[in-house]
Amino acid sequence: MLNVDFQKLSDLINKNVPGANAVVNTPEGKSDSSITVEASSIFAVVSFLKTNSEMPFNSLHVISGVDYVEHMEVCYMMSHFDPEGGREFILKIKVTDRVNPAVDSIVSLYAAANFQEREVYDMYGIKFNNHPDLRRILCPDDWEGFPLRKDYVAQKVYNGMEVFPDSKMNFEDREFIVRQAMIKKAQTQSAQ
């Protein structure tokens, strides 16, 4: 990413935020490097990143979720706008509790986090503790499940409407329905 010494930033976080356990992720290929911290320290880490004088980050661009089946991640793209030279990086946390996933909200630090945390909640079911208005933002309030999770099983009918009517399905939709049936079958078998 732009103008960031990841090891220096990781060391700075670890020095100033006890228990953050910041680790630099350097993927192979052309992917962006990132830093992962303990989920329990996300509020303290983001607060430090916003207010420190050595390497501050004055803007939050994006919060997104990712489901890797064995765990979920929340990714925060942060940047610093400065005429002398900007910088940006991705901060990640790992969420291992798939039944009741929850992390601390950063809305009180960056107002831009408000709708983005709601979207991650709506799509992945990750709750943001102390969020001022945590509710669905894309799906209806009574929607069942979290559509971007790997274990999501789409409901067949919503408010009297068939969710996947045969007359409107293409090949990819049909494959999706087959995968949904396989997931539901596996979930049923593991519950027994």
Over residues 142-165, the pLDDT tens digits come to 999 999 999 888 888 999 988 878
Output 11 or 190, whichever has higher pLDDT.
Answer: 11
Which pLDDT score is estimated for 2?
Answer: 63
Whether the Cβ atoms of residue 130 and residue 162 lie closer than 8 Å to each other:
no
CATH, domain range 6-139:
3.30.460.80
Domain ranges (residues) in the chain: 6-139, 153-192
Least confident segment among 42-46, 51-55, 120-124: 51-55
Buried residues in 146-158 as b, exposed as e (16+ CB within 10 A): bebbeebebeeee
pLDDT digits (tens, 9 = 90+) for 60-117: 999 999 999 899 999 999 999 988 778 899 999 999 999 999 999 999 999 999 999 9
Rounded alpha-carbon distances, angstroms, from residue 191 to 82, 159, 184, 187, 188 = 54, 28, 11, 6, 5
Q: Give the model's pLDDT for residue 140.
A: 94
Residues 6+ away with beta carbon under 8 Å from 20: 13, 14, 37, 38, 41, 44, 45
Residue type present at position 88:
E
| H/E element, 87 | strand 87-95
Return the structure tokens found at 119.
Answer: 């979207």
Higher pLDDT, 22 or 86: 22
pLDDT tens figures, 116-144 = 999 999 999 999 999 999 999 999 999 99
pLDDT at position 1: 47
pLDDT at 26 exceeding the cut of 70 = yes
